[in-house]
């Protein structure tokens, strides 16, 4: 399959994770759902490591701390917010808010690492943030806080924890392959989620078949296959061009929510979502320009 078709498929798969999580979250508590998702993902990643005969990472003490922080932020924290938000919010609305991931990473990088931002990046970030405000307010900007509830707050926890994950991942040794890092972090996250899932309750024998399908989709397609093809994209066409395909994730998220879950989305919310996508696109294209 051509690399651009693979990246398009990844965008569609990741858009579908909102639908799958929405289905699973109606039957499972957040930690239980996240644990089962990453149990599937860990099995797939370990199998992939064995098939490709990749060496397992051997981090030093600092490396173990970094991997644990990655597991806490990107696996446990992110998925707690992801499942919790989708227990409350429609999948279409959540996908538009979680699309702020790159914006949070951009501003966090500038704040904590002192990286200078190009004017295009600042502009794109502001456009995306304004779009998120429109989505949250449902077009009624004067009544923003009337529409800002628990679900919206939980959804915004996803970009916040993902920014932590992204910034910490920069500190991991470049000698370590992305596959090895992801596999180890997934195993640590799954182990950390297990006692939390037991505390919430794991109703394994009473889950309907569609929930198991949704969890397998999240773990094997959303995590394992998505990782493989996305990494192939970075190697084939570069990080910046690959990242542009992330802009299609909320688009597929909304389309699939309407088609599969029969959700309705107002034109004002769609406009806000388009602004988020446009802002992120401007950010991703910015590196092609000259630093200001």
Q: Where are the domains of the chain?
A: 3-288
pLDDT tens per residue, range 157-177: 998 898 888 888 878 877 778
Model pLDDT, residue 13: 94
**Average pLDDT over the chain, rounded to an integer:** 85
| Higher pLDDT, residue 144 or 187 | 187
Q: What are phi and psi of 60, to 5 degrees?
A: -80, -170
Among 56, 67, 95, which Cα is nearest to 176's?
Answer: 56
Please report which residue ranges of the chain form alpha helices under DSSP H: 3-25, 30-52, 61-70, 78-88, 91-98, 101-113, 119-137, 144-147, 150-169, 178-200, 209-216, 226-237, 239-244, 248-261, 267-285
pLDDT tens per residue, range 118-145: 888 888 888 888 887 777 776 666 655 5
Model pLDDT, residue 289: 42
pLDDT tens per residue, range 254-290: 888 888 888 887 888 788 888 888 887 787 675 544 4
Lowest-pLDDT choice from 20-24, 39-43, 47-51, 97-101: 97-101
Report whether pLDDT(291) > 50.
Answer: no
Cβ atoms of 92 and 254 within 8 Å: the answer is yes
Model pLDDT, residue 145: 57
């Amino acid at each position: 399959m051509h690399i651009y078709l693979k990246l398009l498929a990844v965008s569609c798969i990741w858009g579908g994770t909102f639908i799958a999580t929405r289905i699973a979250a109606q039957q499972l508590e957040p930690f239980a759902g996240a644990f089962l998702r990453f149990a599937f993902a860990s099995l797939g990643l370990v199998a992939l490591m064995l098939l490709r005969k990749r060496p397992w990472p051997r981090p030093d003490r600092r490396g173990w701390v970094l991997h644990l922080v990655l597991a806490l932020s990107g696996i446990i924290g992110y998925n707690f917010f992801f499942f919790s938000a989708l227990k409350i919010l429609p999948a279409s609305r959540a996908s538009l808010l979680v699309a702020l991931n790159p914006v949070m990473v951009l501003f966090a990088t500038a704040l904590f690492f002192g990286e200078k931002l190009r004017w295009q990046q600042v502009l794109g970030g502001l456009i995306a943030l304004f779009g998120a405000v429109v989505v949250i307010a449902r077009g009624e900007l004067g009544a923003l806080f009337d529409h800002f509830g628990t679900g919206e707050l939980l959804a915004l926890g996803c970009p916040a924890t993902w920014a932590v994950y992204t910034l910490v991942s920069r500190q991991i040794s470049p000698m370590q392959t992305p596959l090895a890092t992801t596999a180890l972090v997934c195993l640590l996250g799954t182990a950390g989620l297990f006692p939390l899932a037991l505390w919430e309750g794991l109703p394994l024998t009473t889950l309907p078949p569609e929930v198991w399908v949704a969890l397998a989709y999240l773990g094997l397609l959303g995590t394992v296959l998505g990782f493989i093809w996305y990494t192939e994209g970075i190697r084939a066409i570069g990080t910046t061009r690959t990242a542009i395909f992330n802009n299609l994730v909320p688009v597929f998220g909304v389309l699939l929510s309407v088609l599969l879950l029969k959700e309705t989305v107002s034109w004002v919310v769609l406009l806000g979502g388009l602004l988020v996508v446009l802002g992120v696109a401007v950010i991703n294209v910015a590196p092609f320009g000259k630093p200001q």
